Structure 1
Amino acid sequence: MTHSFKTSDFYYDLPEELIAQTPLEKRDTSRLLMLNKQTGEISHEHFYDIVEAIHENDCLILNDSRVLPARIYGTKKETGAVVEFLLLKNLGEDIWECLAGPGRKAKVDTEFTFGEGLMQGKVVEVKEDGNRLVKFSYDGVFFAILDKIGQMPLPPYIHEKLKDQERYQTVYSKELGSAAAPTAGLHFTEDLLDKLRAKGVKVGFVTLHVGLGTFRSVSAEFIDEHKMHSEHYYMPQETADIINETRKNGGRVIAVGTTSCRTLESCADENGHFTESNGWTEIFIYPGYTFKGIDALITNFHLPESTLVMLVSALAGKENILHAYEEAVKEKYRFFSFGDAMFIS
C-alpha cells in the first residue's frame, strides 16, 4: 500500500508569542492575507477589505452554530471534590457525553451538584475512550441554566480568561450546539455583512456543530491512517438554492471557515448541486481531494500538522500554503482562534 502524505509534511514553525490570546477590540480590523490558489500570489490587507475581494454575483456561506458555555464544574455529593465537565454531545433524554477531569473522581453512579444546586448530574456510563455519559436533572430550561453556570470552552492554547463571552461567538450565531467557535466567522460585523448584501452578494447559512475533535492532533505517521471525528450538520433548502443559483450565474461559492467548507463538501452531489440535507460528516479533506462544493475559502491560521492545515493545502496546494504561513510568521500575523484571517481564492 502506498501512502500519500506524512503528517510531518504539514509542519511549520510557529513562535508561541504569535498565538493570539484575546480578540481584537474591533472584529473586522484583523489582518487578512489574500492567497491566489492558482498562482500562489500573496497580498496583505485588512479584514474589512474583504468587501472589495468578493464580487456581486458570489455567495457567502456561513456557519450559524452557537458555542455552548459547555464547561461546568460539579461538586461531588459525597466528598465535596470538584470535577470539571465539558459537554460534548447531547444524546437526548438529558444524557450528555462529557469529558471529565480528574476522571477518577467521576466513576459510574457518582452524583454531582452544579451551580449551587441549580442542576444535579449522575455518571451513568464510562466509555472506552474515557468519556463519561452523565444524566442531568434540573427545574426549568437546560440551556438557560447552562448560560448561568457554564463557561466558554476556549481552546487549550488560549490561557487568558475571556472578558466578554460573546466575543467567542459570531455575530450571526443562533443554533446552540458547538463545543468550539467556527472562528473564521468571528471577523464579521453586522455592518460588513450589510455592505456585502448591498453589493449584491447572497449570504446563506448552514449549521455544523463543531466538536472538540477539531483540536485533536493527528497522531498517525501517515495522514490516510487518521480517523476523523464526526460532526452534525444541516443545510436548509434556502441555502441550497442560493448556491445552485450562484453556480448557474457563474459566481463563486465562498465558504466562511473550514466547518462551512466541510458541510458544503459533505452535501454536494457529484455535479456540485445542492439540496436540503442533514446528517453526520466525517469528511477528511487533504491534498488530492477534488472540491465539488466550494470555490474559495475565508479561514484563520491553523495549527501545524492539523487536519485543517491539510484541508487548506488541498484547496491551495501544500507549497502555496506553507509559503503563505511562512510569510504570515515573518509579518507577525496573529494565529489561531482569535487571530488573523486568510482568503484563499
Structure 2
Amino acid sequence: MSLLASDFDFHLPPERIAHVPARPRESARLLDVGPDRVADRIVAALPSLLRAGDLVVANDTRVIPAQLTGFRGDARIGITLDRILADGSWHVLVRNARRLHDGDMLRFPGSTMTAEVVSREEGGAAVLRFSEDAGFDRFLREVGRLALPPYIERPDGPTADDTSDYQTVFAQADGAVAAPTAGLHFTPSLLAETQAAGIGHLTVTLHVGAGTFLPMREDAVSAHRMHAERGIVSADAAAAINAARARGGRIVAVGTTSLRLLESAVDADGQVQPFDGETSLFIKPGHRFRTADLLLTNFHLPRSTLFMLVCAFAGRRTMLDAYAHAVATGYRFYSYGDACLLQHDPAAS
C-alpha cells in the first residue's frame, strides 16, 4: 500500500504553536510515549526516565545567520543558505529565483561581498559562489539574519532573545540553517543531572539545511525527495555508541537530526561507523531502525517528513493518538514548543 501525506495529517489549532520557548528550558512539558502509555511529565524529569548506562546522543551543529538579502541591479533577491559544497560554493534557496540567470552577480548592501550565480535549479534553488572566503563568517554576522521557521511570528525579524534562544547548549560546529530543536530543552544543569545519574552523553554533527522548512508538494510520499545535509560521526563517537549498546545501555537520540545521522552511519550488522558526508535519508514507516532505542523530539508539523519519521519510530496510530492528547491538553508545538520522549516500537517498522 502506497503511503500518502494525507495519512499523516492532524488538526492543530494555531494557538498551540509556540512563539517563545519555555523559561527555564527544562520546564517545558514532556509527553512520555510508549506502545502502551501516554504520560504527562516535564523535561526536568528526564534523568528519572532514563537508566544508568544509557547514552544520550545530541547534535552539536551551530545555527548561522543564514538569511540574506541580495540585489541584482534593483531586483531584491531573498536568499537562504542551505549547505556549503565541496568546492566552497553554497547551495541556497532563493525567493524570486526566476529573476536570476547563470553568471549574474549579486551585491549585498553594507558589505563588499558579492556572489556569482553558478547555476539555477528547479524548485527555487541555486548555487552561489561568494567573492570572499576569509571574511565570510564576519559577513554573515554583519549582514545575515537567523532564518527562523515561518510559523514563529516575527513581523520585524528575529529578536535579540532569538539569538540565544535558537541555539542549543551543545552548539559548537557552525553550519546549520535551522536549530536541532530537541536540543533546545537542555541546560548545563540538566546535563549535570543526567551525568550524576550514570547517563552518558556525546555529540554528532548534522548541519540542518533550509530544506527542513519546505513542505511536501505531492500527496504521494514516494514522490518526495529529501534535501541533502552534511553530517559527521567521529570514530570516537561511533565506538562509544557501539560500546554502550554492547553493555546493554540504551541509545537516546536527541532530535530527528541525530537519529537520521545515526541511521545513515549504521551498517547492516547494527554497528555505527564513522561518517563524514551528505545524507538525504528519508525515514518513513517501513524503515528498520538499527541504532536508537528512545527519541527525544519536539512536536512536528502535520503531513511533514518529520512527523512521518516519528510515526516510523513509535507507530502511526500511537503518534496520532499522542498528538491528539497533546492538542487537547495544551502542549506547545514546533521549534519553541514542548517535547516528546518516544520509545521505539519494533512493530512499527
TM-score bracket for the superposition, by shorter chain length: over 0.9
Tell me the distance in 2 between the aligned counterparts of 1:25 and 1:336: 16
Residue 156 of structure 1 is matched in structure 2 by 150
- Given candidates 158, 167, 170, the residue that maps to 1:169 is 167
Structure 1 residues 140-172: Cα deviation after superposition (integer angstroms, max 9, x where no partner): 421122112111111121122432212111111
Distance 2:133 2:311 in 1: 48
**What is residue 107 of structure 1 aligned with on the other side?**
101
* 1:96–1:288 Cα change, 3 Å: closer
Deviations 1:245-277 (A, max 9, x none): 111111110100001011111111222212322
Give TM-score scaled by structure 1 length: 0.92
Question: CA deviation digits over 1:160-190, x for unaligned, max 9?
Answer: 2432212111111111111211111110011
1:221 equivalent in alignment to 2:219: yes
| Offset, 1:113 | 2.5
Candidates 79, 83, 88, aligned match of 1:89: 83
Check conservation: 1:118, 1:138, Cα contact below 8 A: no
Q: Which moved more, 1:110-119 or 1:294-303?
A: 110-119
Unpaired runs of at least 5, structure 2: 344-349
After TM superposition, list the pairs within 5 Å mapping 1:1-345 onto structure 2: 3-36=1-34, 38-39=35-36, 41-76=37-72, 78-79=73-74, 81-138=75-132, 140-160=134-154, 161-163=157-159, 164=161, 165-345=163-343
* Closer, same or farther: CA 27–177 of 1 in aligned 2, 3 Å: same
Q: May I ask how many residue pairs the two structures share in their alignment?
A: 339
- Give the alignment's Cα RMSD to 1 decimal: 1.8
- Which region of structure 1 is more displaced relative to structure 2, 219-228 or 20-29? 219-228
DSSP-derived class of the 1:177 partner: strand
Q: Are the equivalent residues in 1 in contact too, given 2:90–2:129 (CA < 8 A)?
A: yes
Structure 2 Cα separation of the partners of residues 289 and 105 of structure 1: 40
Which residue identity does 2:220 align to in structure 1?
F
Distance 1:230 1:124, change over 3 A: closer
Contact 1:94 1:137 in 2 (8 A): no
Q: 1:320 to 1:150 in 2, by over 3 A?
A: same
Q: Distance in 2 between matches of 1:140 and 1:225?
A: 40
Structure 1 residue 92, shift from structure 2 partner? 4.8
8 Å CA contact retained: 1:100, 1:106: no
**Distance apart, 1:83 and its partner CA:** 2.3
| Amino acid corresponding to residue 274 of structure 1 in structure 2 | V
Whether contact under 8 Å (2:110, 2:143) holds in the other structure is no
